[in-house]
Amino acid sequence: MSTTPLVPGPAPSATTPVPTPIPLMELTTGFWRFKALAAAVDLGLFTTLSGLRDASGPELTAALDLDARPARMLLASCTSLGLLVRENDRYRNSDTAEHFLVEGRPHWFGGFVRYSDRHAYPAWHQLQAALRTNRPTTWDPDTQASAFVTADPAILEDFWGAMFTLSSFTADALADAHDFTPHQRLLDVGGGTGAFPIGLCRRHSHLKATVLDLPRITAMAREKIATSGLSHAVATHDGDFLTDPALPTGHDVILLSMILHDWDEATGRALLAKCHAALPPGGAVIICELVLDDDETGPAPAALMGLNMLIETRSGHNYTHGEYTDWLTGAGFTDTTTVPLVAAGANAAIIARKP
């Protein structure tokens, strides 16, 4: 047995914080918060409470058809997360919950919660398999063309509703960050149900826009456009931006919002080349994404969205500012600039022009 005395390590400096497992605990239990939210949405807590305006714990317990013990736990959890407000032993929705988590409201976010809980959350359980195989786990690329081929229609409805809400707020951020006054006609490539054109044309009465997407998507877009009262300003164009040889012409600005991260570099470069060909001299392209820092140390939303692309797509990735700039230059664009955005769907808009 060794008799060598133990040599103590250096004492912690008064100015050096002692490491604590609290950040790891928060990471490890992050799913607790999400699942509490998902359960509350599925139970209709926020929609029910909105109808009642406020309610006591026993009243909510009865309305949700729960036993007292789990109801008490759920209400405490949602209050601690800032989703409910408790005053004088009565509960009401927080402003966030009232605005986004009451079903039927214009900016209903519960669809994204349900989509994430039922579609993405189980797939993230298989993240290690995705990392080892470099294959998505939300669908089987050997038997399906995409994740949406056999998806539950209810899941797809939640997805597109959620994308409309997220994109609406990102469109507002883009409208604040970029001057659309010089632009006359916008083409939104892969524009989904039209949130960006609706938002931008509402802010800029001179602007006209076109949503380019698959026919089943543009049908939903036309409903949203009509409901918004902007059918005179926003049109749709059926097409496939990947397989069509060219993009529609007649537009002086093209938007790619959360599109390029779905594909590999070669596909992204090819799409930007189509954009360049479709634009007139002086036209602009706008890439709106969660963009990685060039040293790939963050920000976390962009990095984690990249992992989400691993489980959701064949070859998607969240790319860096430098990569997008290189792609744009390679496609013939110049004068590339980046403007920061504060939005759930994007942290930057990268803008370049065709000489």
CA 224, CA 107: separation in Å to the nearest integer? 13
Proportion of the chain above pLDDT 70, given as a percent: 94
CA 287, CA 308: separation in Å to the nearest integer? 19
81 plus 177 within the same structural domain? no
Using the 3D structure, point to which of 100, 127, 146 is the last residue of a domain: 100
pLDDT single digits (tens) 263-305: 999 999 999 999 999 999 999 999 999 999 999 999 999 999 9
Work out the average pLDDT over 250-267.
Answer: 97
Q: Is 111 among the domain residues?
A: no
pLDDT, position 155: 73
Q: Is 110 among the domain residues?
A: no
Contact 257, 225 (CB under 8 A): no
Q: Are strands 253-257 and 185-189 parallel, antiparallel or unpaired?
A: parallel
183 plus 326 within the same structural domain? yes
Q: Which of the residue ranges 3-7, 73-77, 89-93, 180-184 would you say has the lowest mean pLDDT? A: 3-7
pLDDT, position 13: 60
- What does pTM read for this prediction? 0.90
pLDDT single digits (tens) 220-247: 999 999 999 999 999 999 999 999 999 9
- Catalytically active residues are 261
Q: Are strands 84-87 and 90-93 parallel, antiparallel or unpaired?
A: antiparallel
Contact 346, 292 (CB under 8 A): no
CA 31, CA 33: separation in Å to the nearest integer? 5
Position 1 confidence tier, pLDDT thresholds 50, 70, 90: very low
Is the pLDDT at 151 greater than 70? The verdict is no
CA 332, CA 254: separation in Å to the nearest integer? 15
> Could you give the number of structural domains in the chain?
2
323 plus 202 within the same structural domain? yes
92 plus 208 within the same structural domain? no
